[in-house]
Amino acid sequence: MAKPDGFMLFPRELPLDRSADERIRDYDEFHRIFSDEKQRRQAARCMDCGIPFCHAGRIVEKATTGCPIHNLIPEWNELLYKGRWEEAYARLMKTNNFPEFTGRVCPAPCEDACTVGLYDPMVTIKQNEVHIIEKAFLEGFVEPYIPPIRTGKKVAVIGSGPAGLACADQLNRAGHTIDVLEKADRPGGLLMYGIPNMKLDKTIVLRRIHLMESSGIRFLLNTEAGRDKTIEELLSDYDAVVFCCGAEKPRDLDVEGRSLSGIYFAMDFLTENTRTLLAGPGAAGAPADAIGAGGCAADLRAQDKNVVVIGGGDTGTDCVATCVRHGVKSVRQLEIMSKPPETRTVDNPWPQWRKILRTDYGQEEAIYRFGEDPRNFETTVTSFLGKAGHVSGVKTVRVAWNQGEDGAFRFTPVPGTEEQLEADIVLLAMGFLGPTDATFENTGLRRNNRGNIATENDTYATDIPGVFAAGDARRGQSLVVWAIREGRQAARACDCYLSGHSELPQ
């Protein structure tokens, strides 16, 4: 145990984020890191519970509870408190290939399940995690892993998001030779083109990719499986194939005016922004006066425009934050769901993930910039308005949610609540419907009734022998931490297929 009375002596404390005023002027990360001393004190708050719900990683009554990859949280909290950095790092890496990603972007279901959180603010688990891994990088503990024996088996991992990276890392540890095929020009999946730089700096992603390359994993960029390499070629060149190709098919909004220009999928906007940022100032397409080195080229640029973001999730919030950095004239974020409560309700007890109102960084920044929360809850769009073929506004209506006799909730429009919002750009951030149609057409993989790659009896094996699937492609759109879990488990399934057994952890 870290310190028996730590939770009574020290209050929960996090490093202050960079202020909204400062951070909206650039695309740098807005979270900061404490001194070692301060973070060790936070680790002292861990009670080393007999049953550590934080690391349970279970679905309780349809709600996530605890860490999906079963991080050994009380153990590394104690080692962190004692300043035993190398051991803390070793414990952390037993369950998580990429704590530098989860420590930055995970919504931390572990913290909502922390027992201290029953009566006091919970332990700063996520901040402890990122502190340990950054210290490990600083101290030089993080090294490439070159397996002592290669098995001679070759595996193609399709997609370099967190699922593909975790799968490749694990299979490399098992001694197999791994190629990661990635259709984009840079590796990382949504860690690279999706989650914006201010939440996860792209140098952090590349630092890990370089380590994996030094471990012997090859990244074949601009290579689309099913097109540049057919499934037949993949099956003849490799002993197994694992599809970790994400859930890229965006949900559309089929209402009047959808064909107007100026209406984009959120991922087109976010990808273009990161691409421009990484190209650097002065690069082709980068606006000379862009804020920081980012911004977007031409019509995707939100500066001095009215933007309506449709969708209240992470993707929508990232769009709001990016628009604020562009110097947007106004930004509204429409969410069809009801405004969540401020605190837990009785049907959402501890240790479940709290379904409460969260004001994320993007909303904080819009509030700073415009003086009000950009979100309109219980609101949907009935049509897009246009001038000369370009979007000029959206028509909205409030909705009411009611539970039917079958237990399902459905919404109905509320008469008399129609409104019109000005919009020069509309960003559709309403979620994803599984892998693209091309993925299925080009590979012969089967789609399940949720639009994802079908696997046998909820395992990772598809119905093509030697072909596996993991991550958002199998599970549906989710979180980085779930993608890592899927990648690790698919690696084990693939290793069993190749070797007849596996030493890789479950």
Ligand X SMILES: Cc1cc2nc3c(=O)[nH]c(=O)nc-3n(C[C@H](O)[C@H](O)[C@H](O)COP(=O)(O)OP(=O)(O)OC[C@H]3O[C@@H](n4cnc5c(N)ncnc54)[C@H](O)[C@@H]3O)c2cc1C
Interacting residues toward ligand SF4 by CB under 6 A: 67, 69, 71, 73, 96, 102, 106, 108-110, 125-126, 129, 481
The yes or no reply on residue 314 touching ligand X (CB under 6 A) is yes
504, 452, 433, 167 alpha-carbon torsion, rounded to 10°: 20
Of 13, 17, 224, 373, the one binding ligand X (CB under 6 A) is 224
Backbone dihedral angles phi then psi of residue 163, each to the nearest 5 degrees:
-70, -50
Cα angle for residues 311, 312, 315 (degrees, 5° grid): 75
Q: What is the DSSP letter of 390?
A: E
Any idea how long the chain is? 506
Is residue 393 classed as helix, strand or coil in its secondary structure? strand
Place of tokens 């998001």: 161
Closer residue to ligand X (CB): 44 or 278: 278
Site residues for ligand X, 232-291, by CB under 6 A, read 244-246, 270
Q: DSSP assignment, residue 492?
A: H
Q: Please, which of residues 452-491 interact with ligand X by CB under 6 A?
A: 471-473, 477-481, 483
**Binding residues for ligand X restricted to 365-424, rule: CB under 6 A:** none
Closest separation in Å from C-beta 245 to ligand X:
3
Let me know: does 101 contact 162? Beta carbons within 8 Å: yes
User: Which does residue 323 bind out of ligand SF4, ligand X, none, counting CB within 5 to 8 angstroms by kind?
Assistant: none
- Nearest distance from residue 102's CB to ligand SF4, in Å? 4
Round to whole Å and give the CA distance between 200 and 188.
Answer: 11
Smallest gap from residue 406 Cβ to ligand SF4 (A): 33
> Least distance (Å) from ligand X to the CB of residue 436?
7
Q: Which is nearer to ligand SF4, 127 or 172 (CB)?
A: 127
* Subset of residues 192 to 211 that bind ligand X, contact rule: CB under 6 A: 194-195, 199
Binding partner of residue 480 among ligand SF4, ligand X, none, CB cut-off 5 to 8 Å per kind: ligand X
Count helices and strands (H / E) in the chain: 17, 16
Q: Give the separation between CA 425 and CA 56, rounded to whole angstroms.
A: 43
Name residues whose C-beta falls within 8 Å of residue 358's C-beta, 6 or more positions apart in sequence.
Answer: 340
Binds ligand X (CB under 6 A): choice among 225, 253, 307, 423: 225
Residue 73 binding result from ligand X, ligand SF4, none, given CB thresholds of 5 to 8 Å by partner type: ligand SF4
Q: Least distance to ligand X from the beta carbon of 474, Å?
A: 8
Among 80, 155, 168, 181, binds ligand X (CB under 6 A): 181
CB of 323 to ligand X, least distance (A): 13
Quote the least distance from Cβ 170 to ligand X, whole Å. 14
**Residue nearer to ligand SF4 on the CB measure, 60 or 337:** 60
C-beta of residue 162 within 8 angstroms of C-beta of residue 232: no
DSSP helix/strand/coil, 303: strand
**Binding to ligand X by residue 226, rule CB under 6 A?**
yes
* Shortest reach from residue 156's CB to ligand X, in Å: 10
Q: Which stretch binds ligand X (CB under 6 A): 50-58, 80-88, 131-139, 152-160?
A: 152-160
Residue 272 binds which entry of ligand X, ligand SF4, none, with Cβ cut-offs from 5 to 8 Å by kind? none
The residue within the footprint of ligand X, chosen from 197, 315, 352, 379 (CB under 6 A), is: 315
CB 414 to ligand X: min, Å: 30
Secondary structure letter of residue 55 according to DSSP: G
The three-state secondary structure class of 239 is coil
8 A C-beta contact, residue 442 and residue 227: yes
Residue with smaller CB distance to ligand X, 228 or 503: 228
Nearer to ligand X, 77 or 443 (CB): 443
Segment interacting with ligand X (CB under 6 A) among 11-19, 187-195, 337-345, 379-387: 187-195
Among ligand X, ligand SF4, none, the one that 262 touches (CB under a kind-dependent 5 to 8 A) is none
Give kind and range of the element (H or E) at residue 468. strand 467-469
In the bound state with ligand SF4, the residue whose beta carbon lies nearer, of 166 and 168, is 166
Q: 271 touches which of ligand X, ligand SF4, none (CB within 5 to 8 A by kind)? A: none
Alpha carbons 158 and 473: distance in angstroms, whole number: 11
- In three-state secondary structure terms, 58 is strand
Q: What type of residue is 362?
A: G
Q: Which stretch binds ligand X (CB under 6 A): 108-116, 277-285, 310-318, 345-353?
A: 310-318
Instruction: For residue 387, count CB atoms less than 10 angstroms from its CB and return exposed for 0-12, middle for 13-18, buried for 19 or more.
Output: exposed
Interatomic CA distance for residues 242 and 491, integer angstroms: 8
With respect to ligand X, which residue has the nearer C-beta, 399 or 491? 491
- My answer on whether omega of the bond before 4 falls inside 30° of 0, hence cis, is no
The span from the CA of 47 to the CA of 263, in Å, is 51
Cα-to-chain-centroid distance, residue 388:
38
DSSP string, 372-438: S--EE-SEEEEEEEEETTEEEEEEEEEEEEEE-TTS-EEEEE-TT--EEEE-SEEEE---B-SS-HH
* Alpha carbon distances (Å) from 436 to 234, 414, 483: 19, 35, 18
Task: Report 42-71 residues binding ligand X (CB under 6 A).
Answer: none
Among 95, 127, 160, 396, binds ligand X (CB under 6 A): 160
From ligand X, ligand SF4, none, interface partner of 328 (C-beta below 5 to 8 A by class) = none
d(CA 206, CA 194): 15
Residues in touch with ligand X (CB under 6 A):
105-106, 158-164, 181-184, 189-190, 194-195, 199, 224-226, 244-246, 270, 314-315, 318, 439, 471-473, 477-481, 483
